[in-house]
C-alpha cells in the first residue's frame, strides 16, 4: 500500500483490477483504493505476474503493508515468496498486534476469531454509512448491537470512527442501564475526561436517541443509492451540525471597481499567462488578509482548548461533474500574490474535476470558501467544514440599484453587488467577532487596488 500523503495512514481496497495469474506491465493499475480523503489507483511497480492477492475487496490496509505478491522474470519462486513473506511480516507489526488483540478478549467480551471477522464483515451491516472496522462489526454482531445503535455511538478514533474501546464501553453502559431498570437504581455516571466538555452539558446517551424518520418509497419513485463520496459528504455534514452551534451572518459588498478592473485586464492576462482570472482568487486574497487580522476565525477546537492556526490554508469548495463536492486546499494562501492564487485556483479546480488530486491537497485546511455565485445563487448559509470554525460564502455578483453617496448628495446608481455570508462556530467565535471579520473582508474588497499589475 503506497504512501499517499502525511495525513493518510490506511486505505480500503475497493476493487481489484487484476486477478491472480494475470500478467501486468509496469505502471498498469492493479487495484482501486479509497481513503477518507480521495479515491485513486495503485500502479504496478514492476512488470510480472500476480502470484497472490493478500487482501479481499473491502479490506482496509495500513500504508506500507504488502497487498500482493508478484513473480518477476528470472526470479526464483521460493526465494521470491520467502522474501515477500519476510517483507510483509516486517512491515505489518500493527496487523500482528491486532491478531493478538483479537485472540485475547477483554473481560466481558465474546471471543472473536479472525474467520468470524472476515465472514461477518462481508455479509452483515451492509446498510452502514461510514467506516466500521471488521472487528467492531463482529463485536456488534456477537453482542446484538443493531445498525441504529452502532451508528449512534460517538467514535473517538480518527475522523470520528468507532473503535473497539468505544463499542465495548457502549455495551458496558447498555448493560448497566438494563441492570438499573431491573433494580430501580440509577446507573452510575462515568467520569468525563478533563480535556472534554462536562458530561452534564449533554446527558449521557442523548445522541443515541436521535434517529432519522422511516421513509417509505411510493410507486414511480426512483431510488438511487448514494455512492461512497456522497455518503462521506452526508456523514461529514451531519457531524458538523452536531459538533458546532452554527451562526450565519450576511453583508452586501460593492464589487463595481473589481468588476471593471477584471474586464480591463482579463484578455491580456489570459494571453500572457494562459490562465483565466476569475473572482475566486480575489475573494481568497481578501479572506486571507482578514484571517491575519482575526486569527480566532482561523482556528480549531480541541475540547476546551482553542487552537489558533499559524498557517492560513484556505479550502475551496469545488463541484464535481457527478454532482458531488470536494474541497482542495490552497496552502499558505496569505503568502501568495493574486497571480499565485489565480494559478493555484485554476490548477486545483481542473485536477479536482479530473479526479487527480492527492490526499494532501484536500487536507490541512484552516478555513473554507464556497462560491454560490458559480450557480447564479445570490447567497447561502454554508455548513462548517470540520475541524475548522468558519466558512465564507460568496453569492452571485449582480447589478442592483443602490444609494450612492457623493459630495453632491445621495443618488441612486447601478452598482455590481454581491452578498457575502459567514457561518461560524459560536463556541469560539461570537457575533461581534464574526461581524467584524465579515466587515473586514468587505473593506479589503471595496478598497481593492485597481492600479496593480498582474
Return the closest-CA partner of residue 132 out of 164, 96, 169, 93: 164
DSSP code for 244: S
The CB density around residue 246, as the number of other CB atoms within 10 Å, is 16
What CA–CA distance (Å, rounded) separates 42 from 28? Answer: 8
* Residue 21 CA from chain centroid, whole number: 37
Q: Is the dihedral of CA 235, 241, 244, 248 positive or negative?
A: positive
Tell me which of 322, 332, 354, 430 is the catalytic residue.
430
What CA–CA distance (Å, rounded) separates 36 from 407? Answer: 57
Known catalytic residue: 22? no
Write down the H helix ranges in 164-227: 164-183
Residues 6+ apart with CB under 8 A from 335: none
Known catalytic residue: 166? no
Tell me which of 246, 416, 426, 443 is the catalytic residue.
426
What CA–CA distance (Å, rounded) separates 445 from 255? Answer: 7
Residues 6+ apart with CB under 8 A from 266: 276, 277
Parallel/antiparallel/unpaired status of strands 367-371 and 325-326: unpaired
What CA–CA distance (Å, rounded) separates 287 from 344? Answer: 15
CA atoms lying within 13 Å on the CB side of residue 23: 2
Which helix (H) or strand (E) segment is 250 a member of?
A: strand 246-254
The cell for 199 is: 458530561
Catalytic residues: 426, 430
Amino acid at each position: 500500500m503506497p504512501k499517499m500523503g502525511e495525513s493518510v495512514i490506511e486505505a480500503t481496497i475497493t476493487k481489484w483490477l487484476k486477478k491472480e495469474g494475470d500478467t501486468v506491465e509496469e505502471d498498469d493499475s492493479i487495484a482501486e483504493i479509497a481513503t477518507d480523503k480521495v479515491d485513486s489507483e495503485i500502479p504496478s511497480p514492476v512488470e510480472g505476474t500476480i502470484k497472490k492477492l493478500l487482501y479481499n475487496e473491502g479490506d482496509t490496509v495500513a500504508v506500507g503493508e504488502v497487498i500482493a505478491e508478484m513473480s518477476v522474470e528470472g526470479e526464483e519462486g521460493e526465494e521470491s515468496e520467502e522474501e515477500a513473506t519476510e517483507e510483509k511480516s516486517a512491515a505489518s507489526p500493527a496487523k500482528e498486534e491486532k491478531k493478538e488483540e483479537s485472540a485475547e478478549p477483554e473481560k466481558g467480551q465474546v471471543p472473536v476469531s479472525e474467520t468470524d471477522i472476515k465472514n461477518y464483515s462481508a455479509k452483515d451491516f451492509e446498510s452502514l454509512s461510514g467506516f466500521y472496522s471488521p472487528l467492531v462489526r463482529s463485536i456488534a454482531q456477537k453482542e446484538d448491537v443493531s445498525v441504529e445503535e452502532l451508528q449512534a455511538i460517538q467514535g473517538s478514533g480518527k475522523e470520528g470512527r468507532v473503535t473497539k474501546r468505544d463499542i465495548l464501553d457502549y455495551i458496558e453502559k447498555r448493560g448497566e442501564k438494563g441492570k438499573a431498570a431491573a433494580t430501580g437504581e440509577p446507573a452510575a455516571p462515568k467520569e468525563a475526561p478533563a480535556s472534554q466538555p462536562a458530561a452534564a452539558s449533554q446527558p449521557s446517551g442523548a445522541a443515541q436517541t436521535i434517529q432519522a424518520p422511516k421513509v417509505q418509497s411510493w410507486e414511480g419513485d426512483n431510488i438511487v443509492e448514494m455512492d461512497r463520496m456522497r455518503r462521506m459528504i452526508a456523514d461529514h455534514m451531519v457531524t458538523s451540525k452536531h459538533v458546532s452551534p452554527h451562526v450565519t451572518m450576511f453583508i452586501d459588498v460593492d464589487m463595481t471597481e473589481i468588476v471593471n478592473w477584471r474586464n480591463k485586464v482579463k484578455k491580456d492576462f489570459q494571453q500572457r499567462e494562459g490562465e483565466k482570472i476569475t473572482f475566486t482568487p480575489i475573494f481568497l486574497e481578501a479572506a486571507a488578509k482578514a484571517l491575519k487580522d482575526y486569527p480566532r476565525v482561523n482556528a480549531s477546537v480541541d475540547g476546551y482548548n482553542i487552537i489558533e492556526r499559524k498557517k492560513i490554508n484556505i479550502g475551496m469548495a469545488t463541484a464535481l461533474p457527478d454532482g458531488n463536492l470536494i474541497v482542495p486546499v490552497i496552502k499558505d494562501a496569505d503568502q501568495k500574490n493574486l497571480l499565485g492564487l489565480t494559478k493555484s485556483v485554476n490548477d486545483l479546480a481542473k485536477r479536482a474535476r479530473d479526479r487527480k488530486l492527492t490526499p494532501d491537497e484536500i487536507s490541512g485546511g484552516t478555513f473554507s470558501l464556497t462560491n454560490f455565485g458559480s450557480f447564479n445563487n445570490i447567497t447561502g448559509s454554508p455548513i462548517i467544514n470540520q475541524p475548522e470554525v468558519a466558512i465564507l460564502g460568496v453569492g452571485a455578483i449582480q447589478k442592483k440599484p443602490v444609494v450612492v453617496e457623493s459630495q453632491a448628495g445621495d443618488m441612486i446608481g447601478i452598482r455590481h453587488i454581491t452578498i457575502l455570508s459567514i457561518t461560524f462556530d459560536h463556541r469560539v467565535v461570537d457575533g461581534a467577532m464574526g461581524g467584524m471579520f465579515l466587515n473586514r473582508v468587505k473593506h479589503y474588497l471595496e478598497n481593492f487596488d485597481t492600479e496593480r499589475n498582474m
